[in-house]
Structure 1
Amino acid sequence: MRVRPTRAELAAAAGRTIADVIRPDLRVLFCGINPSLYSAATGHHFARPGNRFWPAVHRSGFTERQLSPGQQDELLTEGLGITNMVARATARADELSRAELIAGAERLTEQVRRYRPQWVAVVGVTAYRIGFGLPRATLGRQTETLGGVGLWVLPNPSGLNARFQLDDLAARFAELRSAVL
């Protein structure tokens, strides 16, 4: 049974970081905006209830079964990984400054050069636009590469992003999967 963090634990998680799920030569490195307080409190990416990352990854065909946040390391066996543009946890992504997102884009570029995934998928078009200085960027495959690696932008899977329902998210993730295979 999963134990939910208390309010005090969530408050204490502000500013914390969590470990990346990464290794060299991944098929796809998913890049979130930054950890939620819930993720920082649990130590697992996309852990907040209502986040649709895990169902979207499964429904798109990247995994044979739906993983839970506590099973995040199993992604590595599928050639998948997770990192964040900004490492520090916040209650909402809009608490991040422009400077943090720009520095996060530089950090992501360094990780890509070090680990050499085949593709990078940034989950959050607004953070991508700000971090990389591309105000007109759209979802999907980008014409730019990141350190010579293919680049894709996906919708933010947070439950706070009501514009995209789970089926829409899964379809966008499936487009990436088709390009990767």
Structure 2
Amino acid sequence: MIGDHAKDSFQRIFTAAARTRLVAQEGQSCEVVPRASDEPQGENLVILTISSMQFRLIVALHFEDDERTRRYYVGDASRALTECFMEYGNLCCGAMNQQLVEHFPDLGMSTPYALGSACLPYLRELQPDYVQSFSLTLDYDVKLGATLCVCTQTPLDFVVSATMETQDMGGELELF
């Protein structure tokens, strides 16, 4: 029930948001490559949800709690990697939300929560209409994964403008 334009739009919105909001510093690279497999790409997941009256989009960000990822996101701080990564995930989904609100004005976004990667296969229990996984490489060194899962009960198709990818995706916090 999800059209090809909507699938492409979700992918482009995610890719643009990841490239600007999952990097630790402006100007760092973020390569986003679609994957055929939806296997977890890390032992940890951060889950966020964007919901409207027409659909529910679940964004699962996969990461390893290893030295390379900790150094990239936490640096020398004494904070937990999961806590820091949730903030970056929230910024990424906030940027996605800003693009989607142009087409769906009734959006709501969840707070991030952490799960183990063994939970990822259970997304299939939701009987999603669309699932797409990605491999991400940040600053040529840090490896992440992402899975987009869209569920809808009504036909869904929309097109984001081609200029969306060059716009500033602020990802600011919205209070409800």
TM-score (norm 1): 0.29
Q: Bigger relative contact order, structure 1 or 2, given CA contacts below 8 A and separation 6+?
A: 2
Q: Which structure dedicates a bigger proportion of its chain to helix?
A: 1
Q: Which structure dedicates a bigger proportion of its chain to strand?
A: 2
TM-score (norm 2): 0.30
